[in-house]
Structure 1
Amino acid sequence: MRESQPRESGAQAILEKYDRESQFRLNLGKWGLIVTFLGVYLTVFHLYTGYFGVLPSQKQGAIHLGTALGLIFLLFPAKKGMQKHQKTVPWYDIILAFLAMYISYHKVIFLDSILQSRITGYHPFDMILSIVGILLVLEATRRTVGLPIVIVAGITILYTIFGKYIPTQLLSHPGFSIDRIATNLWYQESGVFGTPIQISSKFIFLFLFFGVMLVHTRIGAFFNDLAFSLTGRYTGGTAKAAVSASALQGMVSGSSVGNTVASGSFTIPMMKKAGFKPEFAAATEASASTGGQIMPPLMGAAAFIMMEYLGVDFSTIMLAALVPAMLYFTGIFIGTHFEAKKRGIVGLPKEALPNFKKLMLRNGYMLLPLIVIVGTIMIGFTPQRAAIIGIVSAYLISLIRKESRLSLKQTIYVLEEGARVALPVIAAVATAGIIAGVVSITGLGAKFATGIIALSGGILPFALMLTMVACIILGMGLPTTANYVVTATVAAPALINTFGLEPIAVHMFVFYFGIVADITPPVCLAAYAGAGIAKANPFRTGLNAVKLAIAAFIIPYIFIYDPILLLVDVTIPHFVLAVVTAFLGMLAVSSAMIGFFVSNSRIWERVLLMLGGLLMIHPEVYSNVAGFLLMAIVWLLQRNRKNGEVSQSAAV
């Protein structure tokens, strides 16, 4: 255990400010060994069950959550900033840690009698344990993730208790007693230990640990070098390299804020030095890093829960996410290109960049774990087995060179780090399980569906916009995984059942809009983190991030109306046409947002480009032709104007 882990003052300060996950204690005193033991134990437990087979879901989930809660109370202080001043773990957090572990492990030891109690009735002691357990989950979530999700969960619990007092017939229900709510949420499969925590204990932990292993094989530095070798010499090369590197790193880390700080500490100063405005440099990094959660193969933790909700294998989710993710990053890439053209920013000299051929010959083997994990999933291995094989391959690769080889002490640290990285996700999905449990108990999902239909008048575009707004608002306070659980439980069924939409398209729709909340003002934590590094205006950074990531606000509507981009009912001609027109549409839309195409665009030209782009993105032949004509008209006008300006300059 590293009790006094060195921290980079600038980057770490920004992480602590905007990323709740980074606000852990620096000094643990004698409890450092206990934290190391629990962290290593939790990781080894998941490696063992991932290879030899998981325990019954309630036992697996109880060990998963109970050990995580113990670690959270030992690592995360009750109040922000206290971690800098405490010399050890205070006595009250030690009590909470062991109380949380006892209550969770009680389920493991007495599971048979608890299952019997569903028929005979719960003992008063069981009721007390369930109430305390739920309170401890909420407090652990507040410490690791923040207060907003706890407020949402608290409101849903109050709704369950006092539903009969709600005057609106649409939302009212008979109400439930506190002991019934607590025992349902703690002991039944639809609450804390429901689908989200089960998926977390089976799949998510292992894939998060796989990401940790890749980081410790120095793959992040390799991704940066690879991105600069491929794109650094072109127009606006520093920004394009930042987008490429963040796409590569983001698909491993799955953290918007963490990836923004990790990559941005290096890329943002380079973009500023090249001539990009601070707000644009920060926005480029934030929007690209946020997209990591939708980038296969790993994506964010919510993708694994989507797999369970839809009843499909993970390879289906990966393939469905591939084309939209490529369009998302293409949109950002194009935006940086037009901004660089607008400002006359050229690429870096060739001699200042890594040589691609030499880089691949020396470090190309670092891509092997990603190839292995994709290959094993695609040929039909379970996600657990694929993750185990990926982890083993990453460890073996670390042995190739001395600088990446893990000693025994480093291996223990990596095992502990695997548990630490997972703690906020575990807490978030446990609280999301509370919210999902309330939806199940009260029938809130059906009530929400009725409300959406009533407000939208049964018109699909209005229903989609209302759902989008709900996802973004929830995403401002909830982590992506919890946001997805809530919206997939409440909103997705309404869209699927009422309008007959493709289930995977609807789930991807709510998944996307939960993610873009990280770059959507006024609460856009990834953009704020980038602004902190760039010393830029946070709100303007958020606006620039929305301009660059405009694809994320458009693409979900595309695959709702034409799921072929998700590889649903694919025919080659239709698929090729859909991808080409979507790409051209993104080109026009990005140009309109930046204000540059062949030359600086006038306002009416930007309007035509935006309209043309949207028409080409819409999956219909006549609209595609009309959009292409509008785009071609603007291109011809600007080219002639530019040629005229060049001629006048030559004459002078």
Structure 2
Amino acid sequence: MSKPHDPQKNGGSPEFEPEISQIELEELMKKVDKESTFRKLEGFQHKLVYLIAVVFSCYHLYTGIFGMFAAQIQRSVHLAFAFALVFLLYPANKNSSNRIGAIDYITAALATFTGLYLTIEYERLMTAAGNYTQADLLFGILGVLFTLEAARRVVGTPIVVIAASFLVYAYLGDYFPGFLSHRGYSLERIVTHMYYTTEGILGIPLGVSSTFIFLFLLFGAFLERTGIAKLFIDIANAIAGWASGGPAKVAVITSALEGTISGSSVANTVGSGSFTIPMMKKLGYKPEFAAAVEAAASTGGQIMPPIMGAAAFLMAEFIGLPYIEIAKAAVIPALLYFTGVLISVHLEAKRLGLKGANRSELPTVWSVMKERGHLFVPLIAIIYVLTEGFTPVLAALVGLALSVLAGMIKKDTRMGFGDIINALEAGARSALGVAVACATAGIIVGVVTLTGVGLKMANGLVDLAGGNLLLTLMFTMVASLILGMGAPTTANYVITSTIAAPALVLLGVPILAAHMFVFYFGIVADITPPVALAAYAGAGIAKADPFKTGVTATKLAIGAFIIPYIFVLSPQIILIGSTPMGLVQILITSICGMTAIGAAMIGYLLTNMSMPERIAFFVGGLMLIDPGTLTDVAGLVILALGGIIQLRRKKADRSMSIGG
């Protein structure tokens, strides 16, 4: 991320040096983010991997512009490129050499050929009608094994264990008890279903990765090369840097904006947190609180329209809705989430008596927009293209082209030929984790479609909850959070959407609300203890206690734990069955509700709160967030009474202070 520039130059943000070095940041990323454990290559090896990555991006640009190949070909070529880069870039274990060895070249070559095998033998395999050769079976087995090994290297062991368990279940189904039992399938049936159909590894998750997701990641890489991160932090400083607890609010706004180009909670936390966390600490926030603010805000980036996390694109395919409908449904929940975090930050600043920066040290909105406002053009264009009903592929291509063209307007944001090639390489690298996670998730989906276990588990979940919707929601939430400890958001969403979401649909929940529910909890797993990877990353920068940081981040992000229940029970909040006037009412009362809940979490509104007051404000806030006239009135009454008590106590405290 670009360092904020000198305030004397073009009215920019204050100069600020991070407390943690680049080497320390890299080591921290390796600890909390498996994707960051790649080799640092030099010489010929670097050039080789660089060239493969650039060609990978060019392949997707070509198919995006001139049309996709047949599904199996598009996806198998995508997988082959991912295999090649993963086995060259990522060592088999942490003690491996930082150079590519002979065994790595052989593994990468064999994996790449395995990925391309379906493309090479496409016509024969499509007409095989189940008559597969021994070579087909061999390469099918290799395809499954290479997928699992690539996932182990890039994503982590937990997702491999989950996928392998599903494969064992498919093979040994007749040994399982009760409703989980099935007749079991032969090795050939499992392998061919997993590798030669669009129901397994080459299924919908990898299909979305090989089309929409890759191009949007590439768009993000291009946008970063224009220096848009600098625009985000400058505009955030102009808007909120002067307010109480300004740096913390800057962190929230910056992370919300960066969420449009970064699909990783951890990367977002480290990218902006290296500057915002020291700023918050310097102002007077405790290290745990500073780290938690950045982690909570960065995690929320994945639910921030118009470009949400990769799982949102999967959702659009799974439930058959245009992506823009998913983004529209996410607007109010995202607004409430970030409002809740901002309110908590503001109240903590008031409680501690923290001030913002001097306005003279900060840029104005006008000066920032004049200097770099043209970089918003690609984002605005993407929103326009999507709302006009065009495909996400076209939206990503338009955004990518406009990133280059808009950047050319000014010298500071202009990309040279080298910058463009570097962006192609960076985009390909950023796609590896998603591609491998989607391929591995395809194994899970493949077992579900082969055995029918998805509907069985959905029915089992409903039975376990005794048909009670609230209990089913709680079980689903816990499952999503547990899966989120070991699986990335994409894989987490795929698993829960095929097993848990159908249970909610069985109980009458609208399909969009059911999928949004599991999507939300898959994301907030990044800040939920005991794992809480984003909170851990923030704690590493702040030199704070990781567990305390996770607990604090959970309090700040409390909206993400409440809002999903609300849009299941009252889907108007995600624009299902809502009216314009109803939306206005929902928005006003929900923001009041988030204010009340934020006050309850911090323990401060106008002055410090007692425990009964905090409980009352929390309950009142919940009632206001829940759409409905009766709950709104009840919530307002509780808040009005609590506000009067707070006002009187503040006056009394002031009188005592003056009298003293």
Shift of 1:638: 1.2
Residue 291 of structure 1 corresponds to 300
The residue number in structure 2 matching 1:111 is 122
Return the alpha-carbon distance in structure 2 between the equivalents of residues 406 and 238 of structure 1: 30
Shift of 1:106: 1.4
Between Structure 1 and Structure 2, how many residues are aligned? 640
Aligned match of 1:275: 284
For 1:146, the aligned partner's letter is G
1:254-269 equivalences in 2 (<5 Å) = 254-269=263-278
Amino acid paired to 2:522:
G
Hey, what's the Cα distance between the residues in 2 that align with 1:551 and 1:544? 13
Q: Does 1:139 align with 2:149?
A: yes
Aligned AA (1:280): F
Question: Which residues in structure 2 correspond to 1:34-433 (within 5 Å)?
Answer: 34-80=48-94, 82=96, 85-86=97-98, 88-119=99-130, 121-166=131-176, 168-433=177-442
**Are 2:575 and 1:563 equivalent residues in the alignment?**
no
Distance 2:235 2:375 in 1: 11
Partner of 2:588: 580
Aligned counterparts of 1:402 and 1:348: Cα–Cα separation in 2: 29
Query: Any stretches of 5+ residues in structure 2 without a counterpart?
Result: 1-20
Structure 1 residue 510 displacement after superposition? 0.6
Contact 1:21 1:424 in 2 (8 A): yes
How far apart, CA to CA, are the structure 2 residues paired with 1:369 and 1:285?
26
Partner of 1:4: none
Q: Please give the alpha-carbon distance, in whole angstroms, between the structure 2 residues aligned to 1:388 and 1:545.
A: 36
Cα deviation, residue 80, structure 1:
2.7
Contact 2:225/2:419 (8 A) holds in 1 = no
Structure 1 CA distance for aligned equivalents of residues 481 and 42 of structure 2 = 37
* Alpha-carbon contact 1:586-1:613 (below 8 Å) kept: yes
Q: For residues 81 and 419 of structure 1, what CA distance do their matches in structure 2 show?
A: 25
- Other-structure match for 1:516: 524
The offset of 1:570, in angstroms, is 2.1
Which residue matches 1:610?
618
The answer to whether the Cα contact below 8 Å between 2:573 and 2:627 also exists between their aligned partners in 1 is no
What residue in structure 1 maps to residue 13 of structure 2? none
Asked whether the equivalents of residues 251 and 294 of structure 1 are also in contact (C-alpha less than 8 Å), the reply is no
| Cα distance in 1, alignment partners of residues 448 and 298 from structure 2 | 32
Q: Does 1:499 align with 2:510?
A: no
Name the residue aligned to 2:534. Answer: 526
Identity percentage of aligned residues:
48
Q: Compared with structure 1, are the counterparts of its residues 247 and 81 closer, same or farther at alpha carbon in structure 2 (3 Å cutoff)?
A: farther
Residue by residue, what CA displacement relative to the aligned partner does 1:182-226 show, whole Å, maximum 9, x if unpaired? 111000110000000111111100001001111111001110010
Compute the displacement of 1:28 (Å): 4.6
In the TM superposition, 1:641-652 aligns within 5 A as 641-652=649-660
The offset of 1:81, in angstroms, is: 5.5
Residue 29 of structure 1 contacts residue 89 of structure 1 at CA under 8 Å; is this kept in 2? no
Question: Who is 1:20 aligned against?
Answer: 34
TM-superposed CA distance for 1:411, in Å, is 2.1
Bigger Cα displacement from structure 2, 103-112 vs 7-16: 7-16
Match of 1:627 among 635, 645, 651: 635
Q: Deviation at 1:398?
A: 2.2
Cα distance per residue 1:227-250 (max 9 Å; x no partner): 011001111111111100000011
Q: Distance in 2 between matches of 1:324 and 1:565?
A: 7
SS in 2 for 1:117: coil
Conserved 8 A contact 1:28-1:89: no
CA contact (8 A) 1:284 1:548 kept: yes
Q: Which amino acid is 2:59 matched to?
A: F
Deviation digits for residues 299-320 of structure 1, max 9, x if unmatched?
A: 1011111111111111111111
RMSD: 1.2
Determine if contact 1:509/1:557 at 8 Å carries over to the other structure: yes
Cα deviation for residue 29 of structure 1 reads 4.2
What is the alpha-carbon distance in structure 1 between the residues aligned to residue 263 and residue 233 of structure 2?
17
Matched AA of 1:603: M
Contact preservation (8 Å) 2:566, 2:625:
yes
C-alpha distance in structure 2 between counterparts of 1:194 and 1:572, whole Å: 39
User: What amino acid does structure 2 have at the position aligned with 1:354?
Assistant: P
Matched residue of 2:179: which SS?
Answer: coil
Q: Which residue of 2 aligns with 1:471?
A: 480
Q: Which amino acid aligns with 2:491?
A: A
> 1:288–1:332: 8 Å Cα contact kept in structure 2?
yes
Name the residue aligned to 1:481: 490
2:596 touches 2:618 (CA, 8 Å); kept in 1? yes
Deviation at 1:410, TM superposition (A): 2.6
How far did 1:403 drift? Answer: 3.2
Residue deviations 1:104-140, cap 9 Å, x none?
A: 1111111111112234x11111001001111001111
Match for 1:534: what amino acid?
A
Whichever residue aligns with residue 128 of structure 2, its letter is S
Cα distance between partner residues in 2 of 1:14 and 1:351: 35
Q: Is the 8 A contact 1:561 1:619 kept in 2?
A: no
Higher mean C-alpha deviation, range 207-216 or range 345-354 = 345-354
Alpha-carbon distance in structure 1 between the residues aligned to 2:60 and 2:125 = 24
Q: Retained in 1: the 8 A contact 2:222–2:420?
A: no
Amino acid at match of 2:568: I
**1:405 Cα deviation after fit:** 2.6
Tell me, in whole angstroms, the C-alpha distance in 2 between the residues paired with 1:356 and 1:388: 29
Q: Give the TM-score normalised by structure 1.
A: 0.97
Distance of 1:117 and 1:53 partners within structure 2:
26
Residues of 2 paired with 1:34 and 1:648: CA distance?
73
Amino acid at match of 1:502: P
> CA shift at 1:408, angstroms?
2.5
Distance of 1:403 and 1:234 partners within structure 2: 29
More off after superposition, 568-577 vs 375-384:
568-577
CA distance in 2, matches of 1:436, 1:195: 9
Which residue does the alignment assign to 2:603?
Answer: 595
Specify the SS of the correspondent of 2:129.
helix
Contact map agreement 1:520 1:542 (CA 8 A) in 2 = yes
Distance in 1 separating the partners of 2:45 and 2:540:
33
Aligned residues of 2:88 and 2:108 also touching (Cα < 8 A)? yes
- Write the distance in 1 (CA, Å) between the matches of 2:417 and 2:589: 53
Bigger CA drift: 147-156 or 566-575? 566-575
- Three-state SS of the structure 2 residue aligned to 1:536 is coil
Q: What secondary structure sits across from 1:253 in the alignment?
A: coil
Query: 2:623, 2:421 → 1: CA distance?
Result: 55
Q: Using the TM superposition, name which of 353-362 and 49-58 deviates more.
A: 353-362
What is the DSSP-based 3-state SS (H/G/I as helix, E as strand, rest coil) of the residue aligned with 2:486? Answer: coil
